[in-house]
Structures are given as structure tokens and as C-alpha cells.
Amino acid sequence: MEIRWLGHSAFALTHDGTTVLVDPFLTGNPKGVVSAEEVEADAILLTHGHQDHGPEDAVAIAKRTGATIQAITEIAGELGEEGVTTIDTNVGGTATYDWGSCRLTPAFHTSTTPKGTVTPAAGLVIELGGVRVYHLGDTALFSDLALPSQRDPIDVAIIPVGGHYTMDRTDAVVAAKLVGAKVVIPCHYGTFPPIETDVAAYKSEVEAAGHAEVVVLEPGESWSA
């Protein structure tokens, strides 16, 4: 499976002709590397409703590609009113696809839908091509980050490290330990001035502690699991 960072918290996961997009904030993303008009998708997965996680681009992409959008129930309901196909899982729920599955897990964060409805935020445990990826979404550090790996081992964790709106890189070192993935990919940093951070120091601290291998990507770069 190939994991491509599209900037901020947006990722494209691809395997055997299937493309799964996560939080496709592309329009107006200072670190965005593709436009909503260019990217392909078979499924679009949203962690929460904030604008910088792509609910508006998700609709445009789904209309063009026919992709299904999976999101928290209220977000899925609102996006479905735009004429796209949605799956309305709530926290703890799993949707299965012909390519794999996605389960929503708790995230400690706020969330508001495009129409102003307050909802829970979520993380995503995605299974594609025999690889299990845990995208933590936007979250603070909290102990429940350890729970997904109690059910199934996590191969790759995508962890926010920028601080200000999520955990900072110091808390994200602890998060890497709690999650217990083999590989960590940092995200949600460097997009805007409040979330600038020293990602090289984060990599050094996580690897020195023996928690995981840290793969630092530039926007547009890919890593194969």
C-alpha cells in the first residue's frame, strides 16, 4: 500500500487500483499539492467536520468520481443532502468495503459540521491491502489512543504534531508509545504559523525512545508500507 501526504492532514492511500482519501483539504491548503479537480477516489474518509479537513472538497470529489464519503452520522447526513453517497458511522462503528474497512475511534477534539452542527471528532482505523493504518485525526493526547492496538496491531500511525489545535510534538512522542505502531507519519504541522514545529526533533525523540520508526514526508511525497 502506498501512503501519499497531500498536505496538512490529507492523505491518499492506494493499493491495487483503489484510492482512499482521508480529510481531503485541498482547496485553500497552503501546503496542498493537488487540486480537488485532479485527485481520484473510490472512498473518502473524514475524521471530523472542520473546514481544514475537507468536507467541502469531499463533496466536489465525490460528485466527480462517484466515491462514497464515510463520516460521523451528522456530517454524513449533511453532506448527503448535497447529492453524494455517504456512510453514516458513529464513533465505534465500522464500514466494510470490497477493498477493506474503516472503523471510527474516539479523538479528543472539537468538531462542527459545515452547517454548524457540533459533533464528536474521530480517528480512523483503515484496513487496505493487508495494512492497518490508524489516522488519529485531530486530537489531544489521551490514554484511549492505546486502545485500537488492543484489538488489532497497528502497522502505521498518522499522528498530528503541530500543537495549538492538536497535541504538540512532545505529547505526540507519548502518543507514538501509546499507539504502538511500527511506523509513525507526522501530520498537521507547518500549514499555518501557529502549527510550525521541529519535525526532525520529533523523529529523533520517538526513535531514540524506541517507540517507532518515524517517516517524515514532504507534501506530495509517498511511502510504501
- In this prediction, residue 13 carries a pLDDT of 98
Neighbouring CB atoms inside 10 A of 170's CB total 15
Contacts of 209 (CB under 8 A, 6+ apart): 173, 176, 177
Q: What is the mean pLDDT of residues 26-41?
A: 96
Each residue's pLDDT tens digit, 53-78: 999 999 999 999 999 999 999 999 99
In 3D space, the residue among 32, 28, 58, 60 whose CA is nearest the CA of residue 43 turns out to be: 58
**Of 4-13, 40-49, 111-120, 126-135, which gets the smallest average pLDDT?**
111-120
Strand partners, 156: 133, 183
Full DSSP string of 73-105: HHHHHHHHTTT--EE---TT-EEEETTEEEEEE
Q: What is the pLDDT of residue 14?
A: 98
Q: What is the pLDDT of residues 212-222, one digit of tens each?
A: 999 999 999 99
- Percent of the chain clearing pLDDT 70 (strictly above): 100
Three-class SS of residue 194? helix
pLDDT (0 to 100) of residue 10:
98
pLDDT tens track for 78-104 = 999 999 999 999 999 999 999 999 999
Instruction: Say yes or no to pLDDT of 35 above 90.
Output: yes
Q: Which amino acid is at 135?
A: H
Whether the Cβ atoms of residue 111 and residue 104 lie closer than 8 Å to each other: no
pLDDT at 153 over 90: yes
pLDDT tens digits, one per residue of 162-195: 999 999 999 999 999 999 999 999 999 999 999 9
The per-type count for the chain, helices as H runs and strands as E runs, is 5, 14
Among 136, 111, 124, 135, residue whose Cα is nearest residue 55 = 111
pLDDT at 114: 82
pLDDT, mean of residues 139-158: 98
Q: Return the C-alpha cell found at 140.
A: 489531544
Residue 160 pLDDT > 90, yes or no? yes
